[in-house]
Chains A and B, each alone.
Chain A
């Protein structure tokens, strides 16, 4: 099989993705080593999180990523309509994530939780909200790509925009795949 020299999409998005991943890696490591000094506190407050909601969100992001893979596959076969449909399905999954996560935030803020409540909530709120903003940005990017695909703006020969948006969205999924077990499960 012929291998490519560069990853799919615009190379600039990959520089951006690597920079973003570096920030999240620092966040994850800081969480783990701060927990090291506050094990009881982290274990106690972790139990206040809704693991069922986190499961639904994980399934939503994995499914949306899969839909984006199908969108890229369709445009490579010159199927703009199929590409557009898969992208809107992925955006719907993203909206589901935002809805569930928003519900979690409403619950915690309603209970008086803030960034300064304790070290666990500081990490939980800042990490998940930082990721949450990436989900929203990803949805905006996918919507722009879907609209252009709907107008026939991509083809089998030229679909860099689809691959660029897809790569960003997969990064959002990738970060959550580490965040979910680290913050909600590992104890």
Chain B
């Protein structure tokens, strides 16, 4: 059977790469121009966790894995991410 190949305008990994670059630039901009603050710190942390999940899913290839090996990176991001967020909330008297 003849297969019809559709040409992708961009590879998924390239799209992920560009999103990660954009989030990194926003993080740097926040660090360079703002004076900090709990909301900005948590936003920056969230960006980092999203980027981490992108690396796990699309660069490490865990998006294409089923079963327990699908989750280690997500769990790794969640646990220290939650602890870091808790410590920062507490440092602001939360």
Contacts and interface: CB of A to CB of B under 8 A. Distances in A.
Partners in one complex: yes
A52 B27 CA distance: 11
A171 B62 CA distance: 13
Interface string A86-127: 000000000000000000000000000000000000000000
Given A4-B65, A29-B80, A18 B72 contact: yes
B90 interface: yes
Per DSSP, chain A at the interface is helix
Given A69-B13, A181-B45, A184-B31, A36 B91 contact: yes
A4 B52 contact: no
A54 B29 CA distance: 12
B24 A59 contact: yes
Interface stretch (A5-13, A133-141, A153-161): A5-13
Interface string B17-30: 10011001101101
A185 interface: yes
A36 B60 contact: no
B20 to A, nearest CB: 5
Interface of A: 1, 3-8, 14, 18, 21-22, 24-25, 28-29, 32-33, 35-36, 39, 43, 51-52, 54-55, 58-59, 62-63, 65-66, 68-70, 72-73, 163, 166-167, 170-171, 173-174, 177-178, 180-182, 184-187
11 contacts: A3-B65, A22-B76, A163-B61, A170-B59, A174-B73, A178-B48, A178-B52, A180-B48, A182-B45, A185-B28, A187-B41
